[in-house]
Amino acid sequence: MFIPIVMAGGSGSRLWPLSRSMFPKQFLALDNKHKLTMLQATLDRVVDISAQNPIVITNENHRFIVAEQLREYGVDARIILEPVGRNTAPAIALAAFEAIKNGQDPVLLILAADHVILDKQAFQNSIRLALKQAEKGNLTTFGIVPTAPETGYGYIERGEDLSDGSYKVKQFIEKPKLEVAQQYLASGNYYWNSGCFMFKASRYLEELRKFSPEIYSACEKAQYKDIQNSDFIRVNKEEFEKCPDDSIDYAVMEKASDVTVIPLDAGWNDVGSWSALWEVSDKDSNGNVYFGDVITNNTENSYIYAPNKLVAAVGLKDIIVVETKDAVLVADKAKVQEVKQIVEQLKNDNRSEYREHREVYRSWGRSDAIDRGSRYKVNKITIKPGKSEEKQIHYNRAEHWIVVRGTAKVSRNEEVTLLKENQSIYISIGVSHKIENVGKIPLELIEVQSGSYLGDDDFIILD
């Protein structure tokens, strides 16, 4: 059938404080009904009509989050890591080169990991139609049937009717002014550019080599020198850094022949703001969207996200409230685009809240900084079965570990100790140490750090 190619390397923060550069929106569960993250929901829309496992493209910072969410969802996928961001044309090229290994030439379905599609059946029907075009050798894109004169999207003008529900692409158009967008909407011949595509791997590479030979050459060399282990495919950084930065639209689609468009009317939204998320979410009789533990009185048309603690709202209208473990956003729904100014201020002030959450994911599990002072820090640490932290030394802090669940094997210099629930151990400054989960369940412990400097860079890895 085809291989889903999911691009999950973005680091946007338009949905701050939930979305941050180290944990962007594609890894968030924004649907209170199905509990899937956006990445998982993207796969959920296609895995039952695809006979081949997906390829996910991401980066080093997000690799463990991707791997864990794929494991939770229960899908086996190849994960390609981009050493640097070079836009969509090179990313898709890496996936295409990977797909044609062993002499195969599959059809690729290119999807963004952070879009919402409400009508799964309509989307799958469009995929089946696009598959027929791709198997003929056409480069196919999906055009979203517009519902408003949107000025924030690029447009696709349709040409010749191919009599099977698809059309030749007449032209791709940049984001228009309002009066032009109104004309597009009235004509019925224009679609929003979804950024989703379908084509044979060889056809894409053929057109890329013709119109963007520098991208083709850099990706071919980077992929040829790739490094693959049991979890990730790493391409050669030195070669990939030479690759030009360009989108698939500019590099290929606007220049190629045999380009077709499939109209897609399936409740699509790129969820570019909190107001957009409110629009596509299920609402109560007062127009409110709730996530988590929420109590309201005399509140209308608001979005309240509260996964960690009770949030009570009284007398609100058209308001966004988003609670996380370390930040709270309160915004007028009509002003949510200004959230990016808050993020810029946090970035300029070098505050960690723009970059990462209080709880961060590691290869071995996760760490939640539950309390902090000038000379101490308390973390709740969870280590997955069979995993361990790296053996390391700290020169400015001591650590005290208390096991609250599971079984831990602790190496302290040459001493090895087995700890069970309610047992603890002390790690002095300058002592090499390592902790491993030797049990069958997640290992949970409380870590108390104390010392003159508690920065994350106070360590030397010995493994």
Q: What does the DSSP assignment read for 107-132?
A: EEEEEETT-EES-HHHHHHHHHHHHH
Residues 181 and 301 in one domain: no
Element (DSSP H or E) covering residue 73: helix 63-73
Examine residue 357 and state whether it is found in any structural domain, yes or no. no
Residues 34 and 122 in one domain: yes
Examine residue 302 and state whether it is found in any structural domain, yes or no. yes
Predicted confidence at residue 213, as pLDDT, reads 96
Predicted confidence at residue 460, as pLDDT, reads 86
Examine residue 353 and state whether it is found in any structural domain, yes or no. no
Segments of 252-396 assigned E as strands = 259-264, 268-269, 289-297, 303-314, 319-323, 328-332, 359-361, 365-372, 376-383, 392-393
Final residue of a structural domain among 220, 245, 269: 269
Task: For residue 192, count CB atoms less than 10 angstroms from its CB and return exposed for 0-12, middle for 13-18, buried for 19 or more.
Answer: buried
Residues 64 and 142 in one domain: yes
Contact 167, 159 (CB under 8 A): yes
Residues of the domain holding 280? 274-348
| Encoded tokens for 241 | 């850094």
For residues 367 and 4, give the distance between their C-alpha atoms in angstroms, rounded to a whole number: 32
% of the chain exceeding 70 in pLDDT: 98
Contact 383, 405 (CB under 8 A): no
Predicted confidence at residue 363, as pLDDT, reads 83
For residues 216 and 315, give the distance between their C-alpha atoms in angstroms, rounded to a whole number: 57
For residues 372 and 376, give the distance between their C-alpha atoms in angstroms, rounded to a whole number: 6
Strand, coil or helix: 45: coil
Residues 331 and 413 in one domain: no
* Res. 275 pLDDT band, cuts 50 70 90: very high
Examine residue 153 and state whether it is found in any structural domain, yes or no. yes
Final residue of a structural domain among 269, 292, 327: 269
Q: Would the pLDDT of 230 be above 70?
A: no
Count of CA atoms in the C-beta half-sphere (13 A) of 214: 8
CA-nearest of 299, 334, 304, 309 to 320 is: 304
Predicted confidence at residue 455, as pLDDT, reads 84
CA-nearest of 1, 73, 23 to 43 is: 73
Angle at 242 between CA 238 and CA 245, to 5 degrees: 130
| Encoded tokens for 5 | 């190619």
Residues 198 and 306 in one domain: no
Examine residue 51 and state whether it is found in any structural domain, yes or no. yes
Residues 278 and 265 in one domain: no
Report how many domains make up the chain.
3
Q: Strand 155-161 and strand 107-112: pairing?
A: unpaired
For residues 325 and 359, give the distance between their C-alpha atoms in angstroms, rounded to a whole number: 8
181-222 pLDDT, tens digit each: 999 999 999 999 999 999 999 999 999 999 999 999 999 999
* Res. 463 pLDDT band, cuts 50 70 90: low
Mean pLDDT, range 356-380, rounded to an integer: 91
Element (DSSP H or E) covering residue 2: strand 2-7
Contact 68, 79 (CB under 8 A): no
Look at 10-24, 75-89, 396-410 and tell me which has the smallest mean pLDDT: 10-24
| Crossing angle of helices 213-224 and 88-99, rounded to 10° | 50
Predicted confidence at residue 149, as pLDDT, reads 93
Residues 248 and 117 in one domain: yes
For residues 1 and 29, which has the higher predicted lDDT (pLDDT)? Answer: 29
Mean pLDDT, range 38-52, rounded to an integer: 91
Q: How far is CA 393 from CA 353, 368, 384, 431, in A?
A: 27, 21, 22, 6
Q: What CATH number does residue 252 fall under?
A: 3.90.550.10
Final residue of a structural domain among 302, 321, 348: 348
DSSP 8-state symbol, 186 = H
Residues 93 and 34 in one domain: yes
How many Cβ atoms from other residues are within 10 Å of residue 281's Cβ? 19
Predicted confidence at residue 242, as pLDDT, reads 94
402-447 pLDDT, tens digit each: 999 999 999 999 999 999 999 999 999 999 999 999 999 999 999 9
Examine residue 356 and state whether it is found in any structural domain, yes or no. no
Task: For residue 307, count CB atoms less than 10 angstroms from its CB and return exposed for 0-12, middle for 13-18, buried for 19 or more.
Answer: middle
Mean pLDDT, range 282-303, rounded to an integer: 95
Predicted confidence at residue 228, as pLDDT, reads 61
Examine residue 400 and state whether it is found in any structural domain, yes or no. yes
Residues 192 and 110 in one domain: yes
Examine residue 213 and state whether it is found in any structural domain, yes or no. yes
For residues 153 and 140, give the distance between their C-alpha atoms in angstroms, rounded to a whole number: 18
Residues 371 and 298 in one domain: no
% of the chain exceeding 90 in pLDDT: 82
Residues 279 and 258 in one domain: no
* Res. 103 pLDDT band, cuts 50 70 90: confident
Q: What is the mean pLDDT of the chain?
A: 93
- The sign of the dihedral angle between the CA atoms of 67, 70, 75, 78 is negative
For residues 155 and 67, give the distance between their C-alpha atoms in angstroms, rounded to a whole number: 34
Residues 177 and 314 in one domain: no
Q: What CATH number does residue 430 fall under?
A: 2.60.120.10
